Amino acid sequence: MKDGVLIGLTLKDQNGERTIPCRNCVLAIGHSARDTFQMLEKKGMAMEPKAFAVGVRVAHPQSMINESQYGSGYDKRLQAADYKLTAEGVNGRGIYSFCMCPGGYVVNASSEEGYLAVNGMSYMDRGSENANSALIVTVTPRDFMAEGSALENASALSGMYYQRRLEKKAFLSAGGRIPVQLYGDFCENRISSGYGDFELCVKGSTEFADLRSVLPGEVSASLEAGMQQFDRRIKGFGRKDAIFAGLESRTSSPVRILRDEEMQSPAVKGIFPCGEGAGYAGGITSAAIDGIKVAEKIAVLLQG
């Protein structure tokens, strides 16, 4: 940077370090680029913590979801059914399903040593025996401040540090494996000893563990409230042998990189924060739309 304006990007890889002259950079870094977030904070980039959501993956038999969505005696040629659910948890917190994976798998998506996070996926055929979805609860900067150190709370990255604390707990709860607990045992606050009428379709090692010890109290209470409400919409959703797998913590960015009306950083002209990682989108489609808007702004700028 020079006088608050971008003049180049320094890149590092196995071949060393090099600098590329650059006047306009679209910063579309994704919502888990923690090393980049930390670098930007040190460089004085204007950022702020933002609300996101944390929770678990919940799995059910896909046949149960199909019957609920299509009706009994449904045509087996239909593809695996999906769902979208929202409810209100404890103290007005939003709780909702996210990234639902019909005929899918829970996946160990950890990106840092000593920390654990999960995601979900479906192959093209949607062919597994499980339906799984993120079941997540809104958390806000007030939650981050309640648990973090004074140093972390003073940072725009307080939400990221909050994620890390939870992911560390998840890693320790099951010795680095994916912690799993049946919903009924979660309600009774006991570690499960086995599966019920179905098992988890998963990519990665698992171990039965206490997910309540991983999650904040209001998040756990909200998950229970949500399961009860969702059971009234999808018969069997709140069955005792529904499977929780944690931790689902990478739902969206915990930070917003500020930008002005021209979609540039107010701290560094020429930097265009963009998409989900910058805090301006909540998924693939909205991130793509944000990218189009940023591209249009740059096009106008280049035309003079």
Query: Does residue 97 sit in the same domain as residue 174?
Result: yes
Q: Residue 202 forms beta bridges with which residues? A: 106
Query: Does residue 149 sit in the same domain as residue 43?
Result: no
At which residue do the structure tokens 């998924």 appear? Answer: 283
Query: Does residue 120 sit in the same domain as residue 155?
Result: yes
pLDDT in tens, 12-24: 889 999 999 999 9
Percentage of the chain lying above the pLDDT 90 cut: 88
The pLDDT assigned to 153 comes to 74
pLDDT at position 148 over 70: no
pLDDT in tens, 187-227: 999 999 999 999 999 999 999 999 999 999 999 999 999 99
Question: Which phi-psi region, left, alpha or beta, contains residue 124 (left: φ > 0; alpha: ψ -120 to 50)?
Answer: alpha
Q: How many domains does the chain have?
A: 2
Q: Is residue 44 part of a domain?
A: yes
pLDDT in tens, 75-118: 999 999 999 999 998 888 999 999 999 999 999 999 899 999 99
- Phi and psi at residue 7, in whole multiples of 5°? -125, -10
Query: Does residue 42 sit in the same domain as residue 187?
Result: no
pLDDT at position 31 over 90: no
pLDDT in tens, 111-144: 899 999 999 999 999 999 999 999 999 999 989 8
Q: Of 240, 219, 229, 237, which Cα lies nearest the Cα of 55?
A: 219
At which residue do the structure tokens 């000593």 appear? Answer: 114
State the pLDDT confidence band at 147, using cuts at 50, 70 and 90: confident
Query: Does residue 95 sit in the same domain as residue 132?
Result: yes
DSSP assigned state of 212: G
Q: What is the mean pLDDT of the chain?
A: 94
Query: Does residue 38 sit in the same domain as residue 56?
Result: no
At a CB cut-off of 8 Å and minimum separation 6, what does 20 contact? Answer: 8, 9, 11
Q: Residue 19 forms beta bridges with which residues? A: 10
* Exposure string over 128-161, b if 16+ CB within 10 A, otherwise e: bebbbbbbbbbbebebbeeebeeebbebbbbbbb
Q: Of 239, 295, 297, which Cα lies nearest the Cα of 28?
A: 295
